[in-house]
Chains A and B, each alone.
Chain A
């Protein structure tokens, strides 16, 4: 008696269809799972046995062989519990094989026959929608998968209910997501934090607006208590809402990481704020079956690294490649996975170990050697990838006491949106989330960064006088392009350029 059930597993961002074949035959009783299962699948034997018995069915005595095909790829996850259990019941004629055609099953069983959620329901539904029409998933995953409109999703709570549904004894109602939840911009999580809370710091705010508009990475430098963290935390409120496309990408990653809190799509831009003691694997993604790390969880959002030089060197260096390419490839001996990691990096640091080097009022206690060592923790190549360096000065009494509130985030965001639209128009041919000035290739920089004569002259002087490197030159062009876009100017004027040069304070060798 042979049965076949359709299921699948997620490897990296890919979902693979897996056929679960179950054979129940005579011979010495035994239960074996073949087809390169990992430990969690092998252990499913005991869960399935108990779940079938506790759901009121008889567990067949005989030789049970389960094959997960294709046999040559490794499989992982507890999601195979449900398909194997249904396969055993089909092989013992409790369910007929015909009813399993076009049906996709996935879910983890508990000993009492209840179904538990598993990781990666959304990517599975998205990638396997062409192959199968009907998905039967644990109740907690059903809404997540129902975001894919092309398929019918049923959410089940137990093995017994699944069997009754398949046999048509008590058919369930398909899970439907109201149309609005996919198109409606989500409520803003950051509602409480607003840019207007930050007093003064107009220069820094302007810099962050430029960063938000062009998707540039930012380094905030300043003494303790100047408001670096406060500014960085409010940065996300300047960014436009996630597009549907971006929202699906983000939800996919969170689904794979098992960190999806609500059952719908994620609408807010993710803001990740890992502590500086974070390990390499947690930052980049890791494990023998690599899960997404912080940089992927920050995809399409903001990665805020406070106390930047305190992070471990190897952790910081892993950021280099993802910043450049917008994705990370995690290789293991058996397979490698690729996760997207396109984020805006906001790094905050003090100018020296004691923090007061640039403070006009409090004197710095550090020796020049100490400062040098502190700054050298951030490698040149990494610094090169950060477009905008902003000094956050400490506020004086008058500024602190001032009644004047800053501009509201909503107003700034409107301007950011306009600038982004200009960029979208410019990079029409590109995948839309990539349409940002900060992601210009060398060719595009040449084509789009047209300087006025005056600006050309200024740049020449800047390079000669300030000792600006070739890479910094490229960054300056990109930033000035964004600034020009903010003022809807076709060519880059000298004042755009000089503002851009102002955002490169670390190039100006302040600290030597």
Chain B
């Protein structure tokens, strides 16, 4: 049972990321990388809009029984995302480049059709005091 669900979850995730990539492309972003793997995890999408490098975290949900897609971005998750983005920037020698981190939340129905797509720009920031 658990294994089956695990497979399903990954499938939903992949499906959502594809929707998000199409969504961004339609908004004038050029998608640079999908699923960029880092030693700490992966970045769902890396896109470029004007001079900005935009890292995108995609969250997909089939029901809101456990909260909205955006509410799934917790503090721990944010830290993780920041770590991945730093890795990307360092790897490509882009530390001084203008960049930001966006989050896209997608609700899909049983057929896999997107119901709501929410795009929050500049959603995650570094902290430090």
Binding site for B on A (CB under 8 A): 25-34, 37, 42, 61-63
A contact residues around B126 at 8 Å (CB):
28-30, 32, 63
Q: Which residue of the partner chain, among A25, A26, A32, contacts B128 with CB atoms under 8 Å? A: A32
Q: Which residue of the partner chain, among B97, B124, B129, contacts A37 with CB atoms under 8 Å? A: B129
The answer to whether A26 touches B125, judged by C-beta atoms less than 8 angstroms apart, is no
The answer to whether A26 touches B129, judged by C-beta atoms less than 8 angstroms apart, is no
The answer to whether B97 touches A27, judged by C-beta atoms less than 8 angstroms apart, is yes
The answer to whether B128 touches A28, judged by C-beta atoms less than 8 angstroms apart, is no
Q: Distance in Å from the Cβ of A216 to the closest Cβ of chain B? A: 52
How does the 8 Å CB contact mask read for B94-115 relative to A, with 1 for contact and 0 for none? 0111111100000000000000
Q: Which residue of the partner chain, among B99, B124, B128, B129, contacts A27 with CB atoms under 8 Å? A: B99
B56: interface (CB < 8 Å): no
Which 6 pairs across A and B sit closest by C-beta, in order of nearness? A30-B126, A32-B128, A26-B98, A29-B125, A61-B122, A30-B125
CB within 8 Å of A: which B60-88 residues: 82, 85-86
The answer to whether A26 touches B101, judged by C-beta atoms less than 8 angstroms apart, is no
Give Cα A33–Cα B127 distance, bound, in whole angstroms: 10
The answer to whether B129 touches A61, judged by C-beta atoms less than 8 angstroms apart, is no
B89: interface (CB < 8 Å): yes
Q: List 26 A-B contacts (CB under 8 A).
A: A26-B97, A26-B99, A27-B89, A27-B97, A27-B98, A27-B99, A28-B82, A28-B86, A28-B99, A28-B101, A28-B126, A29-B100, A29-B124, A29-B125, A29-B126, A30-B125, A32-B127, A32-B128, A33-B129, A34-B129, A37-B129, A42-B129, A61-B100, A61-B121, A62-B98, A63-B126
A contact residues around B95 at 8 Å (CB):
27
Give Cα A19–Cα B99 distance, bound, in whole angstroms: 29
B contact residues around A33 at 8 Å (CB):
129
Known: A27-B98, A28-B86, A61-B122. 13 other contacts (CB 8 A): A26-B96, A26-B99, A27-B95, A28-B82, A28-B99, A28-B100, A30-B125, A30-B127, A30-B128, A32-B128, A61-B100, A62-B98, A63-B126
Q: Distance in Å from the Cβ of A165 to the closest Cβ of chain B? A: 29
A contact residues around B129 at 8 Å (CB):
32-34, 37, 42
A contact residues around B97 at 8 Å (CB):
26-27
Q: With A32-B128, A32-B129, A37-B129 known to touch, is A25 a contact of B96 (CB < 8 Å)? A: yes
The answer to whether A28 touches B96, judged by C-beta atoms less than 8 angstroms apart, is no
A contact residues around B100 at 8 Å (CB):
28-29, 61
Q: Which residue of the partner chain, among A28, A31, A42, A63, contacts B85 with CB atoms under 8 Å? A: A28
Q: Which residue of the partner chain, among A29, A34, A42, A63, contacts B122 with CB atoms under 8 Å? A: A29
Count B interface residues, CB 8 Å.
19
Give Cα A33–Cα B124 distance, bound, in whole angstroms: 17
Q: Distance in Å from the Cβ of A434 to the closest Cβ of chain B? A: 45
Q: Distance in Å from the Cβ of A304 to the closest Cβ of chain B? A: 45
Give Cα A26–Cα B101 distance, bound, in whole angstroms: 13
Give Cα A62–Cα B85 distance, bound, in whole angstroms: 14
A contact residues around B86 at 8 Å (CB):
28
A contact residues around B98 at 8 Å (CB):
26-27, 61-62
B contact residues around A26 at 8 Å (CB):
96-99
Give Cα A29–Cα B52 distance, bound, in whole angstroms: 11
B contact residues around A42 at 8 Å (CB):
129
Q: Which residue of the partner chain, among A25, A29, A31, A34, contacts B101 with CB atoms under 8 Å? A: A29
A29 closest partner in B (C-beta): B125
A contact residues around B127 at 8 Å (CB):
30, 32
A contact residues around B85 at 8 Å (CB):
28
The answer to whether B96 touches A31, judged by C-beta atoms less than 8 angstroms apart, is no
Q: With A32-B128, A37-B129, A42-B129 known to touch, is A27 a contact of B96 (CB < 8 Å)? A: yes
A41 closest partner in B (C-beta): B129
Q: Distance in Å from the Cβ of A78 to the closest Cβ of chain B? A: 16
B52 closest partner in A (C-beta): A61
Give Cα A392–Cα B126 distance, bound, in whole angstroms: 69
Q: Distance in Å from the Cβ of A48 to the closest Cβ of chain B? A: 13
Give Cα A42–Cα B129 distance, bound, in whole angstroms: 6
B contact residues around A61 at 8 Å (CB):
98, 100, 121-122
B contact residues around A63 at 8 Å (CB):
126
B contact residues around A32 at 8 Å (CB):
126-129
Give Cα A62–Cα B96 distance, bound, in whole angstroms: 10
Q: Distance in Å from the Cβ of A39 to the closest Cβ of chain B? A: 9
Q: Distance in Å from the Cβ of A53 to the closest Cβ of chain B? A: 12
B contact residues around A62 at 8 Å (CB):
98
A contact residues around B128 at 8 Å (CB):
30, 32
B121 closest partner in A (C-beta): A61
A contact residues around B89 at 8 Å (CB):
27-28
Give Cα A306–Cα B105 distance, bound, in whole angstroms: 66
Q: Distance in Å from the Cβ of A26 to the closest Cβ of chain B? A: 4
Give Cα A37–Cα B85 distance, bound, in whole angstroms: 28
Which of A26, A31, A32 has the most chain B CB atoms inside 10 A of its CB? Answer: A26
Q: Distance in Å from the Cβ of B25 to the closest Cβ of chain A? A: 22
A39 closest partner in B (C-beta): B129
